[in-house]
Chain A
């Protein structure tokens, strides 16, 4: 009991300390990166109580990710092409029907140009972004910047679509492989930068390299090819930024009618990772210096995956009163929602604000409103049945609002609303409107362990020009135990 109280007091002290230091004071009094971790934890709306900061987390070792000093643009281009050849070769040798290509199929692809493809939802919104992340990291791990590596994603995807498949090139693949690849690629690049340690030796070094190779194959292979250059002190592996997160396990009930006995139940796991911090005291930022991503895996009759994440591309901290912090920025969103009744995938570009208010000494509020353009989005659809496809392609609006109250030892409350309006570009003509509401309460019970209750509500209203409208909803209730780090 005494120990628990001591830890909580220490946490409160650290949180209080971090709030009491104004942004400009951070810049003056602290070395770059020092104290960022507390700020990340205490300010990010997705991270509840979490993450009582540990003493070692507040060490000045944390610093914004540094750009590597080497640049190998030719290697980046060659590796991007090699990714395509390797994937094509795998398909060809295993009898994949898409791999039967020739100069004739290439000519046909340029002749007939782009179309919308009939692939499975997860192929287009999970596999293609992962494919794009390999291109992206062919550039990133060869010393190219985020935007330069984005060109690798675009170029690699264009090459794949036009010449490496017998199918006609698809515009949705080009968009999702490029934008999704940028998101997943940079995320994996940043995560592996935290894992790699050039000073590690023996088993410690082996597991770090192995895990990094799994998460970021292009980066891992480059360390094998160009190992000598990757260990420069200012190289990739030295880029460190604070990382915090929550691992949650729980039992969930889901249903689409008020009869609770008809609900289906199953286990679920949730991983929330927050890289960087929204408030840095005005320091220069690179894209993805701050990004939260939440992965949720649910099991019922089958596995359901949801990914909810966004990253800061450009941002500027605003002048604020004492006890307040505001970050205005442009964010890239990646959403993948897979439930029994509602499926949504898409990538968006949103203007947003991250604001933190100190309501009292023990109560803080973080608000994150965001509004922007859904570049490409899909929603499941009852009237589209084409090969493996059962969804509409479209573009539209993404709006999100996160409100997070932190009551310190009394727990935290998260209220999150996400709205997507998708105007059909291909499929059943009409508009899909999806709303996802999440309400969650967590309370710390022992050290960094929390108990919690989460309610989620999904609602889809679809208006179609040529078909009857569709209205669906789904709700879920989860009892959960979490561990913050």
Chain B
């Protein structure tokens, strides 16, 4: 009796496994098959629309992890050099707000211009290095939305560097994974601003570091 039960359970498990395996196999095939037919014609595509999503990890422990999403365009300037223009957004809660800010969330909109050095001219998998600049537009959201915002984080142009991997699924579709590290130094200012921000000497204010590691998965649609 026990043997029969065991046998039945095993068969059922096998059925379940085969039931999962089939769609998984189809998914893998759907992803891989086009890439098997990846041909030279794909090299003709120079411009792509890119969408990505991921997470932002600030090195300052007072900031929690934030969800990031974004979109933009990618172009190949040469077989080895790529250029990317992205707009991303994220909002991260603050565990311990920096001096001048109350509890709340810090929203960041980034406009990134990145260059890519691609380590292979063609192929299904192309790793690349990233270097670029990003405009960071910060906006502080108090936890109590009724509260008047009397301080904010100053916007900053900052550099970033990183690495990524392109996986060509077809001649028009590429899956990519990026890791970017941004070096952001800025400060908290009182609102309303009294004079031009360019006249504030950064050496005379308490600077904060908003360095961040961004991990994203994205898709590039070539056209």
Contact = CB atoms under 8 A, between A and B. Distances in A.
A112 B156 contact: no
Contacts of A93: 159, 183
A98 B139 CA distance: 23
Interface string B175-215: 00000000101100000000011100111000000000000
A97 B196 contact: no
A166 B159 contact: no
Interface stretch (A102-110, A234-242, A450-458): A102-110
Interface string A157-183: 000000000111000000000000000
A85 B202 CA distance: 20
B159 A102 contact: no
Best-surrounded residue of A102, A104, A112, A168 (most CB of chain B within 10 A): A102
Given A102-B135, A105-B197, A108-B196, A97 B202 contact: yes
Contact residues on A (Cβ < 8 Å of other chain), bracket: 10 to 19
Contacts of A109: 198
B196 A103 contact: no
A97 B198 contact: no
B135 A103 contact: yes
Contact of A85 (B133, B137, B198, B203): B133
- Which of A97, A105, A108, A167 has its CB near the most chain B CB atoms (within 10 A)? A105
Contacts of A101: 156-157
A108 B197 contact: yes
B203 A89 contact: no
B159 A92 contact: yes
B140 to A, nearest CB: 16
Contacts of B198: 104-105, 108-109, 166-168
A100 B133 contact: no
Contacts of A167: 198
Contacts of A97: 201-203
A102 B155 contact: yes
Contacts of A108: 196-198
Interface in A87-135: 89, 92-93, 95, 97, 100-105, 108-109, 112
B183 to A, nearest CB: 7
Nearest to A168: B198
B55 interface: no
Contacts of B186: 100
B133 A104 contact: no
B154 interface: yes
Contact of B197 (A92, A104, A168): A104
Nearest to B154: A102
Contacts of A104: 155, 197-198
Interface string B133-150: 101110000000000000
Contacts of B203: 97
A167 B198 CA distance: 6
A167 B196 CA distance: 10
A142 to B, nearest CB: 15
Contact of B202 (A89, A100, A112, A168): A100
A112 B186 CA distance: 23
Q: Which of A100, A101, A105 has the most CB of B within 10 A?
A: A100
A85 B157 CA distance: 11
Contacts of B197: 102, 104-105, 108, 166
Contacts of A92: 158-159, 183, 185
Contacts of B202: 97, 100, 166
Nearest to B136: A102
Given A108-B198, A109-B198, A103 B155 contact: yes
A15 to B, nearest CB: 54
Interface in B102-148: 133, 135-137
A101 B202 CA distance: 10
Contacts of B155: 102-104
A142 B196 CA distance: 39
Contacts of A105: 197-198
A102 B156 contact: yes
A168 B196 CA distance: 10
A102 B157 contact: yes
A105 B198 CA distance: 5
B161 to A, nearest CB: 10
A89 B154 contact: no
Contacts of B159: 89, 92-93
A94 to B, nearest CB: 11
A373 B155 CA distance: 44
B101 to A, nearest CB: 18
A112 B198 CA distance: 11
A93 B157 CA distance: 12
Interface string A50-93: 00000000000000000000000000000000000100010011
Contacts of B156: 100-102
A297 to B, nearest CB: 33
Contacts of A89: 159
A109 to B, nearest CB: 7
Nearest to A101: B157
B154 to A, nearest CB: 7
B146 to A, nearest CB: 27
15 contacts: A92-B159, A92-B183, A93-B159, A93-B183, A95-B185, A100-B156, A102-B157, A102-B197, A104-B155, A104-B198, A109-B198, A112-B196, A166-B197, A166-B198, A166-B202
Interface of A: 85, 89, 92-93, 95, 97, 100-105, 108-109, 112, 166-168
Given A101-B156, A101-B157, 12 more contacts: A85-B133, A92-B158, A93-B159, A97-B203, A102-B155, A102-B157, A103-B137, A103-B155, A103-B157, A108-B197, A108-B198, A109-B198
9 shortest A-B CB distances, which residue pairs?
Answer: A102-B155, A105-B198, A100-B202, A166-B198, A108-B196, A108-B198, A97-B202, A101-B157, A97-B203
Interface of B: 133, 135-137, 154-159, 183, 185-186, 196-198, 201-203
